[in-house]
């Protein structure tokens, strides 16, 4: 396989997270890796150490906690070893502490394998909502992303993302060439689970006709509803009020009756004398 040495443009992509990384002390970052280069099973090395072996296209790793810092990443053919030829190589990839990052091995618009680190937005969403993120990581021109037939995200280009907070639920998503109704990928049902960031990747190659969607879901961004409005009639309040009125009437009545009885009894006693 021809060796390609491609330096990933990492600084720009990671800049927003670097600005908000608060504590000065070292913090771990959450890193996932997505393999979106068609046709190649690979091994991944970080700083010369094996990170991942027999990594297949279209698969995503579990999140990995990595100390913040700078990493030299290298992707080789499976079994090539740490010194093997690099299919992709990226030096000095900055991993900011506390950030949630997905490193994507994918094709550039021109069809060359590259590594792009994306910072995942893990800020809270309102109750009942989900965050939808779409990333263009395919060897394809600009696209629009449609949700249930309507254009949701417009003019997305490789290697960029667009996102929106939407109602949770399942959408029928497809990808069309920008400004057209020519479907490039899909449609596919995508479950936007409440309180998640659901990240949809368009990957593959238009020329090779293997464009596909990959989905990553990051949970834990839920919020509680604003309250529980569980009564609008006021009948319970009315009943309580009515019950109170009846109660005080009963108390007063009983007191008056008892007092009257005693007075009457004493009067009779007096009369009898």
Looking only at residues 162 through 201 of this chain, which bind another protein when binding is defined by CB under 8 A? Answer: 168, 170, 188-191, 194-195, 201
Q: Which residue number, 63 or 155, has a Cβ lying nearer to another protein?
A: 63
Member of 120, 137, 158, 216 binding another protein (CB under 8 A): 216
Q: Which residue number, 150 or 271, has a Cβ lying nearer to another protein?
A: 271
Smallest distance from another protein to CB 179, Å: 27
Buried b (16+ CB within 10 A) or exposed e, 14-45: beebeeeeeeeeeeebbbbbbbbbbebebbbb
Confirm or reject binding of residue 62 to another protein (CB under 8 A).
Answer: yes
CA distances from 119 to 25, 90, 123, 225 (A): 20, 17, 12, 27
Q: How many residues does the chain have?
A: 273
Smallest distance from another protein to CB 4, Å: 22
Number of residues that bind another protein (CB under 8 A): 80
Residues in 6-45 at the binding interface with another protein, rule: CB under 8 A: 26, 28, 30, 33-35
Member of 150, 230, 268, 272 binding another protein (CB under 8 A): 230
Strands 183-192 and 169-177: antiparallel
Member of 4, 18, 66, 177 binding another protein (CB under 8 A): 66
Smallest distance from another protein to CB 3, Å: 23
Residue of 207, 137, 123, 102 lying closest to 165 (CA atoms):
123
Member of 12, 19, 24, 65 binding another protein (CB under 8 A): 65
Q: DSSP letter string over 181-196?
A: --EEEEEEEEEE-TT-
Member of 2, 19, 225, 268 binding another protein (CB under 8 A): 225
Q: For residue 42, what are its two tokens?
A: 């690979």
Member of 56, 91, 154, 172 binding another protein (CB under 8 A): 56
Q: Which residue number, 83 or 229, has a Cβ lying nearer to another protein?
A: 229
Member of 15, 154, 208, 239 binding another protein (CB under 8 A): 239
Rounded Cα gap, residues 10 and 103, in angstroms: 10
């254009």: which residue's tokens? 151
Member of 16, 79, 81, 128 binding another protein (CB under 8 A): 128
Rounded Cα gap, residues 72 and 4, in angstroms: 15
Contacts of 61 (CB under 8 A, 6+ apart): 32, 33, 34, 52, 55
């Amino acid at each position: 396989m021809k060796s390609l040495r491609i330096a990933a443009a990492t600084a720009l992509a990671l800049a927003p997270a670097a600005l908000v990384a608060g504590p000065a002390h070292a913090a771990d970052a959450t890193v996932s890796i997505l393999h979106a280069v068609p046709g190649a099973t690979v091994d991944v090395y970080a700083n010369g150490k094996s990170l991942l072996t027999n990594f297949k296209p279209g698969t995503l790793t579990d999140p990995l906690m990595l100390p913040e810092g700078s990493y030299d990443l290298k992707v080789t053919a499976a079994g090539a070893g740490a010194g093997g030829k690099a299919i992709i190589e990226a030096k000095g990839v900055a991993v900011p502490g506390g950030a949630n990052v997905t490193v994507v091995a994918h094709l550039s618009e021109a069809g060359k394998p590259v590594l792009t680190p994306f910072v995942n937005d893990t800020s809270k969403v309102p109750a009942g909502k989900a965050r939808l993120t779409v990333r263009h990581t395919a060897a394809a021109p600009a696209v629009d992303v449609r949700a249930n037939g309507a254009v949701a995200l417009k003019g997305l280009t490789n290697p960029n993302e667009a996102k929106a907070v939407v109602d949770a639920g399942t959408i029928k998503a497809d990808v069309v060439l920008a400004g057209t109704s020519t479907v490039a990928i899909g449609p596919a049902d995508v479950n936007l689970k409440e309180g998640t960031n659901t990240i949809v990747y368009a990957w593959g190659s238009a020329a090779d006709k293997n464009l596909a969607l990959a989905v990553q879901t990051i949970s834990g961004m839920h919020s509680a509803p604003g309250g529980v409005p569980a009564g609008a009639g006021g009948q319970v309040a009315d009943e309580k009020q009515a019950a109170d009125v009846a109660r005080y009437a009963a108390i007063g009545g009983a007191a008056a009756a008892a007092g009257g009885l005693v007075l009457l009894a004493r009067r009779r006693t007096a009369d009898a004398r």
